[in-house]
Amino acid sequence: MKHTPGPWRTESSRNGYEVWGNISPTGSMRIAVTGHAATFDKANAQLIAVAPEMMSALKRAYHVFAGDTDRKRELLNTIGEIIAKAEGRQDQDVP
């Protein structure tokens, strides 16, 4: 099973927070819509939007920790960036 390729993005609309993915160089499709009412709706949309990046990082992590130790620091930086993006932060420090 394949998902819509990333990167995905969030947009605020009258319907709530929408998550969009590109399906071609000129076209995109809505992946999901969260609400506007709850305080966590924007955070949910941000988390959904980074799903393709998380999947990629998890696959890389599997291979790195299965044997390739030279790329651990690079992978940890990538994971920190993805976590920060999912939490709507700019810094890469993982609490």
Token pair listed for 45: 């949309």
The reported pTM is 0.68
The pLDDT tens digits for 17-36 are 999 998 887 888 999 999 88
Q: What is the pLDDT of residue 92?
A: 62
Give the integer Cα–Cα distance in Å for 83 and 81: 6
Q: What is the pLDDT of residue 61?
A: 82
The pLDDT tens digits for 45-95 are 998 999 998 888 888 887 777 666 667 778 778 888 888 887 777 776 655
| pLDDT for 1 beyond 70 | no
Question: Longest Cα pair distance anywhere in the chain, in angstroms?
Answer: 48
